[in-house]
Structure 1
Amino acid sequence: MAAELMWLKYFLQELGFPISQRMQMFCDNQAAIYIASNPVFHERTKHIEVDWHFVRDAVLNKLIVTPFVPSTGQLGDVFTKPLFGPTFRNGCFKLGMGDLKIHLFMLKFWAGFAMPYFMRSLQAKFLAVLVIIPWTLDFVVHDYVLMPFLDRYVKTVPLAAQLLDVRRPQKLEMVKALKDERARFRFEVEIGKSPPLSDEEVWLELRHKALELRDEWRLENRRTFANIWSDMVFGISLFILLYFNQSKVALLKFTGYKILNNMSDTGKAFLIILVTDIFLGYHSESGWQTLLEVIVEHYGLEIDPSVITIFVCLVPVIIDACVKLWLFKFLPRLSPKVANIFREMKRH
């Protein structure tokens, strides 16, 4: 390799294109780099053949330089070594290698050909798989694995029963519900809907209601605990599907880019305004608060309302600032016409 680089340098020099900079010969072996850069003789270099000293002389004469490149960036390993999947795909991507069918389809598609039927069906099937399989696993794991397991586990393990027992905010809700129940008894007696009840009968009714509320809250705590693990199964299954079907994911991304590119400039500006107004508009504060309350209730988290208020006051504002920076600094470079239409639509 060093000899070929030297030959190319002298050849270009004879053609009238002198190269003053040192040529780079990347190497993923740090020991070889140190030996080539250090002329000191030691035991490990006494058996190196004489022709290999040519590289050291070229380095010392400042003709070539041997920068280090990690094994993950050594593209030649794609042809010489059995690499792991991500490293192999990354090397193929850098070399411009990929699935021939997808590349041919992209070339035809950009040339103006209609999308073949099998490509549309392939994308539809893959989208259906992305939706159906994770949701099915989530449902099966939640209702048929975790919930029956937790029902038996709580009855046999006291520590689990204590962890999933009624919490303090839930007890306050129970007290409020019992007060409403007592008030309902009094109101029905006053309007003549039910006969007067003795103190013992009222106590029994309230006790029965309290036990019902306790069982409901315990079941709700088991559900929220199962939601955490079932959602983890959902995320892992979705990640596995995306990871092992990267060619189909690339095809979906390409189709999305094609749809965006085929949109008119007015449509792109309208889409930007629609998305920003939904998530960062005047009424988006209530939407963010409702979304956070749904997430908190789904996972059974005990979060103070002030934390939600602080989050709503900070995060959408930061996102809004980043979006405005992109709109006014980078959008005019990407598409000046879309930027002008966007300004006109916002002005009116």
Structure 2
Amino acid sequence: MKYWNLKKINQSAVEKTGILPRSINKLFEKFRKELDPNAEVEALEEFKVARYQTVASVKYLLFLFVMPILINQLSKNFVFGPCINNFWNRSEYSIFLNASQEERAFAELQRFEEKLHFEILIGKVSHPSSAFVNHKMTEKALELATEYANESSAAIKNILADFLSMTTLISILIVTRRQFSILKSFVNELIYSLSDTAKAFLIILFTDIFVGFHSPHGWEVIIEVILRHFGLAESRDFIFIFISTFPVILDTIFKYWIFRYLNKISPSAVATYHNMNE
């Protein structure tokens, strides 16, 4: 019984698009099943298959989500963290990893100095002196040095821990190919079982978020966060080139998918998408 379930799930996972749209094929299949005297038995078997597929997919998806994160946090806190912290504590000059960190630190120090002089001018600081100003500036400089040294060490930890997590995820996908096939089949059935309006809504939502006219601002924030996460220099030229090319490539791939696959599987969803997008 279990072997039959897995066989049917794997067949559904590799199901390809035929000449007729998938909705028409399902309509004929529905009539055939209703006329079949063994329809009740087959319906029960299909329910068992669908239930097994759903439970297995949810468990596998949670495993794929939790395991890399768990490996990442454990390795960062108990393996790479102590080693990197030991190296950074022994090195007196390991503060900045790139010029972007220095520019941000200098800008913060300059703003602090301007704020301090402003407070002195408006009388908020009583009995100001050059020694007092130098003391405050030294305190702020040491605070910034500690902050950016921690940021630099955290970037090294992120690189090592993320690499280990990615290696773990790829290894899991390679070892558990059968579970991945079940998950792929489950996702396909979940997407293609949506109504035409729901499909069109999700398409418009996806395109507006990632390739819409307002998406460059979001991509800029995402790239800056990623670069800081790995301790890389925040090159404005690289960010602008990425923003001007990647969304265009993504939009082209997405339109090709609509034309090549979705238009054959569910042409009514494509028509609904065009009507909602006008």
TM-score range, shorter chain: 0.7 to 0.9
Q: For 2:97 and 2:270, how far apart are their aligned partners in 1?
A: 55
Amino acid at match of 1:338: A
Q: For 1:137 and 1:339, how far apart are their aligned partners in 2?
A: 41
Q: For 1:261 and 1:285, how far apart are their aligned partners in 2?
A: 30
Q: 1:235 aligns with which of 139, 147, 166?
A: 166
| Structure 2 equivalent of residue 339 of structure 1 | 270
Contact kept? 2:56, 2:182, Cα under 8 Å: no
| Structure 1 equivalent of residue 210 of structure 2 | 279
Cα shift readout 1:216-259 (whole Å, capped 9, x = no counterpart): 11111010111111111111111122222222111111111221
Contact kept? 1:99, 1:247, Cα under 8 Å: no
The answer for unaligned runs of 5 or more in structure 2 is 12-41
Higher helix share: 2
TM-score by length of 2: 0.77
Contact kept? 2:263, 2:270, Cα under 8 Å: yes
RMSD: 2.8
Distance 1:242 1:110, change over 3 A: farther
Alignment of 1:156-305 (within 5 A): 156=90, 165=96, 167-305=98-236
The answer for unaligned runs of 5 or more in structure 1 is 1-97
Deviation of 1:101 after TM superposition, in Å, equals 4.2
Q: For 1:283 and 1:136, how far apart are their aligned partners in 2?
A: 35
Larger Rg: 1
Comparing 315-324 with 228-237, greater Cα deviation is found at: 315-324
Cα shift readout 1:46-105 (whole Å, capped 9, x = no counterpart): xxxxxxxxxxxxxxxxxxxxxxxxxxxxxxxxxxxxxxxxxxxxxxxxxxxx95441256
Is 1:135 equivalent to 2:69 in the alignment? yes
Amino acid at match of 2:175: F
3-state SS of paired residue (2:213): coil
Is 1:146 equivalent to 2:146 in the alignment? no
3-state SS of paired residue (1:185): helix
Identify the structure with bigger relative contact order (alpha carbons < 8 Å, sequence gap 6+): 2
Q: For 1:211 and 1:315, how far apart are their aligned partners in 2?
A: 40
Q: For 2:98 and 2:76, how far apart are their aligned partners in 1?
A: 22
3-state SS of paired residue (2:253): helix
Q: What count of residue pairs does the alignment treat as equivalent?
A: 247
Question: Aligned residues: percent identity?
Answer: 28
Amino acid at match of 2:56: L
